[in-house]
Structure 1
Amino acid sequence: MPPRVVYALTGQGQTLSGILHAMLVWGEANPDPPRTLRSRRRTGRRSGPGRAAIPRRRRRRR
C-alpha cells in the first residue's frame, strides 16, 4: 500500500484563490473557444452566413 500524502497550499498560494475563482467563472461563461483564422483554414470555411470559402494554399513540389 502506498504511503498517504496530504497536500496543502501555502499562505501565498491561498492568495490566488480569488483569481482562480474568477477564471472558473469566466470559463463557465465562455465554454467554446473562439474560431480563429487558423481553425477556419482547416475547415475551408469562414464563419457567418453567405461568406465564401477561404482559398487553400497549394503545396510546392520539390
Structure 2
Amino acid sequence: PSAPAQAVLDMLRHFDLCWEYGPCAGITRLQRWERAQALGLSPPGPVLDAILEHPNDP
C-alpha cells in the first residue's frame, strides 16, 4: 500500500490491539468505537474517520 494507506492500516491495527477501548471479539470496529465513546473512553476521532471511509472493512 501507499504510505498514507499504510498509515491508516497501522492506525486501525493499533486501535484493534488497544485494550483500553475494550474487547474487540464479535463486534465491528465501528461498534467498538461507538461503545468506547459511549463509555467515555475517548477513542481517537481519526480512527472513526478511517472506519467510515472504509465501511466494508470490518
Which TM-score band applies after superposition, normalised by the shorter structure?
Answer: under 0.3
* TM-score between the two structures when normalised by the length of structure 2: 0.27
**Greater helix content:** 2
Q: TM-score, normalised by structure 1?
A: 0.26
Q: Which has the higher contact order (CA 8 A, sep 6+)?
A: 2
Higher gyration radius (CA): 1
